Structure 1
Amino acid sequence: MKLIILDRDGVINQDSDAYIKTLDEWIPIPGSIAAMARLSLAGWTVAVATNQSGVGRGYYSEATLESMHQRLRELVAEQGGTVDLIRYCPHTPEAGCDCRKPAPGLFRQIAQLLHTELTGVPTVGDSLRDLEAGVALGCTPYLVRTGKGESTQYKALPAGTQVFDNLSAVVDHLLET
Structure 2
Amino acid sequence: MNILNLYGSLNGHTEKVAFEIEKAVAGAGHAIRTVNVKKDDSVIDLLEYDLTFIGSGVYTWLPGKPVLNWMEKQMAHARKNDLILPGSPRVPGKFVCVYCTYAGPHTGEAEAVPALKYMGQLFDHLGITVADEWSVVGAFVPEKMRHFNASGRLGNIEGRPNAEDLKQVREKTGGLLESIRSYSVV
TM-score, normalisation: structure 1: 0.42
TM-score, normalisation: structure 2: 0.41
Structure 1 or 2: more strand by fraction = 2
Larger Rg belongs to:
2
Structure 1 or 2: more helix by fraction = 2
